[in-house]
Amino acid sequence: QVQLVESGGGLVQAGGSLRLSCAASGLMFSNYDMGWFRQAPGKEREFVAAILWSGGRTYYADSVKGRFTISRDNAKNTVYLRMNSLKPEDTAVYYCAAGPFGAGPTRNAYNYWGQGTQVTVSS
């Protein structure tokens, strides 16, 4: 079955950096758009970043543009989220997701979800 396993979360001070990874198995990874979403306590899950199956196009939420970078390695079935200049408001559980061509930033278009990794940014 399809599995998406996130790693790399943790506690970091404001201004710091983290790199999240999401390892995929059970699917033809290079055929899927990949996305990162996050959910803070009491809030809805929101889009963070997405990358097309080819890696040729990326999307970012306005709140992370210029600070976060999404990338993928199709040979390793892995998608990454590099997060720089972290702010306390970035604190959330971060989820990776796999979706069909064109899923982009549309949360409901994604078919498969990981269990999430906690990111906590202290002020």
**What is residue 101's predicted lDDT score, i.e. its pLDDT?**
87
SS3 content of the chain, % helix, strand, coil (to 5): 5, 50, 45
Decide if 27 contacts 98 (C-beta within 8 A). yes
**What is residue 32's predicted lDDT score, i.e. its pLDDT?**
95
pLDDT band of residue 116 (cuts 50, 70, 90) is very high
**What is residue 16's predicted lDDT score, i.e. its pLDDT?**
98
Average pLDDT, the chain: 96
Give the tens place of pLDDT for each residue, 12-21.
Answer: 999 999 999 9
Q: Is 119 strand, coil or helix?
A: strand
Give the tens place of pLDDT for each residue, 67-93.
Answer: 999 999 999 999 999 999 999 999 999
Q: Is 30 strand, coil or helix?
A: helix
**What is residue 56's predicted lDDT score, i.e. its pLDDT?**
85
What average pLDDT does the segment 37-50 reach? Answer: 97
Give the tens place of pLDDT for each residue, 87-115.
Answer: 999 999 999 999 988 898 999 999 999 99
